[in-house]
Structure 1
Amino acid sequence: MNESVGDWWSTGITDIQPGSIRLRGYPIQDLIGSVSYPQMVWLMVRGELPSAAEAELLELTLVAAVDHGPQAPSIAAARMAASCGLDLNNAMATGVNLLGDVHGGAGQQCLEVLHRLRAEVESGESPESAARALVTEYKARKAFIPGFGHRWHPHDPRRDPLITALGRAVEAGTVSGTYLTLALALETVLAEGSKPVPMNVDGATAAIYAELGFAPELARGLFVLSRSVGLLAHAWEQHNEPTRIKGPLPKGINPTYTGPGPRSLPEN
């Protein structure tokens, strides 16, 4: 009976026994002080430890996406939750739960686009022609290409250091460079119009995740891990401020009303 119950929650990740904690087979006491946090993240989600160079690339993505201030809905929501008296974990969860397809999902979506482009290149298309066909398709349905353009930054300051580091990793043989080539081809095609649409942090991190072999779904999970640091910092800052019940608009500013004018109930 006990074995059948244990099988119900079987896992290849964690082995817990009295006085023993093993993660992916490694004793926790050996991991502490021997591996970095990015290495630990990789071990937990991938099953094996990364090389130092792979872990360095992963760390860059985790640092890059930490925060974008209260201008980001997830951060603003966490701050509002904290101002309403919620504990830090609840405030952080409020922000995390805003990270969906529209806000927080572009990295995963861009990685899926890069996978699609790779399949087309493997079938005989050049990176440029595959990228151009994809851009044409997205423009025809008036859709945004995930990972490119930013509503706040004409040029995302996080793009260059990430892409430069990825280029060095390609030169060092750490990764193949296949997805970097595709991402840059897409950026080149998007620059051909009247208004260039450069790569943003989601596109740059997606290229790195693709090169490192992470599944698209994990790209969003890794973004959540990164942004949770910003959520914690902002929730804590708000927790220590006197403002209570901080709404989306400052006091004295009401949202514009667009409903019916004043009216009376009809007589019975």
Structure 2
Amino acid sequence: MNKASQPPTTELCTHSLTGMSYRDRDLVNELIGERSFTDVMFTQIMGRRPRPVDLRIVDAVLITLMEHGLTPSAIATRLIYMSAPENLQGAVSAGLLAVGSQFVGTMENCAALLEQLLASSDIDAKAREIAQDYRARKQPLPGFGHHLHKPDDPRSIKLIQLAQQETELGQAHVNALLTFNKAIDETYGRHITINATGAVAALLGEIGIPTHLMRGFAVISRAAGLVSHIAEEQRMPSGRFIWETIDEAIPYVKKASE
């Protein structure tokens, strides 16, 4: 049998009649009660045991992205739960569908730009080039700008400070983000804040998370936040109020006959 026709394999989990293993660790005797969720999660995703700095960064990221009030993802979860309260997982999954290129998941888009900067022989010039291109096309810059937090996003400031305090991190991604921010401000002629997902992109890059896996950390974090919205919905329902408010706020306009 040649390599192309060999069946696929998995390194993530195996089980027997008397036990189960995650990668090379016994679930019952080596993980449960011995290691934290973040520790095991990181190991499962990345295939290596996290360093203490990895755990600190991932925990900071997960806490940052877990909640931001009644955003589209939370509203979707509450409305679906109102419609099908027997289906908690369906309501959470509805909200997770909003973790994309416009909200919550934009760290992936920002990380791709940081990769371009880090691959360039002249980061400053490349930063100006990208900023000018986005401005010319009138496209929003992923990882920058926020309609609520001005002049700066306090979450980003804290995350960047945390990363800069970690002597084990190389700071390449964080410095690239700050260089990019300077070029953006100069290009637009005004200060544009680094938002939370921009800072998250830099921090996850510093600990080696591949760009195309970063959105997964947003999904993990936001899932916890959406469960909290369901818990509040159970105590203080708001789904019908949201529905009725929208129904009243958006009037029906009859189109004139042609």
**TM-score between both structures, scaled by the size of structure 1:** 0.86
Specify the SS of the correspondent of 2:20.
Answer: strand
Structure 2 residue aligned with 1:15: 14
Alignment of 1:134 with 2:130, yes or no, is: yes
Task: State the superposition RMSD in angstroms.
Answer: 2.0
Which structure has the bigger radius of gyration? 1
Unaligned runs of 5+ in 1: 1-6
Output one character per residue of 1:110-137: Cα deviation in whole Å (capped at 9) or x when no partner: 11111111111xxx21x22221111011
**Aligned-partner Cα distance in 2 for 1:91–1:80:** 8
- In 2, Cα distance between equivalents of 1:74 and 1:239: 17
State the alpha-carbon separation in 2 of the partners of residues 254 and 128 from structure 1: 47
Amino acid aligned to 1:150: H
Distance 1:244 1:190 in 2: 40
Provide the secondary structure at the position in 1 that maps to 2:245: coil
Corresponding residue for 2:154? 157
Superposition map of 1:1-268 within 5 A: 10-29=9-28, 30-70=30-70, 72-86=71-85, 87-120=87-120, 124-125=121-122, 127-154=123-150, 155-169=152-166, 172=167, 174-192=168-186, 193-242=188-237, 245-250=240-245, 253-261=248-256
Q: Secondary structure at the match of 1:15?
A: strand
Counterpart of 1:217 in structure 2: which amino acid?
A: H
Shift in Å at residue 40 of structure 1?
Answer: 1.4
C-alpha distance in 2, partners of 1:91/1:9? 33
Amino acid across the alignment from 1:104: V
Identity %: 25
Q: Distance in 2 between matches of 1:251 and 1:226?
A: 28
Higher relative helix content: 2
Kindly provide the amino acid, as one letter, of the partner of residue 213 in structure 1. Answer: G
| Residues 49-89 of structure 1: CA deviation (Å, up to 9, x unaligned) | 1111111111100011101111x100111011122233221
The 2-side partners of 1:136 and 1:23 are apart by 47
Q: In the aligned structure 1, how far is the partner of 2:55 from the partner of 2:239?
A: 41
Secondary structure of the equivalent of 1:250? helix
Structure 1 residues 155-164 or 189-198, which shifts more? 189-198
2:12 aligned partner, one-letter code: I
For the residue of structure 2 that corresponds to 1:93, the secondary structure is helix
Give the drift of 1:251: 7.2
Contact 2:107/2:201 (<8 A) preserved: yes
- Partner SS state of residue 14, structure 2: strand
Contact map agreement 2:78 2:238 (CA 8 A) in 1 = no
| C-alpha deviation, 1:239, in angstroms | 2.5
Amino acid corresponding to residue 75 of structure 2 in structure 1: A
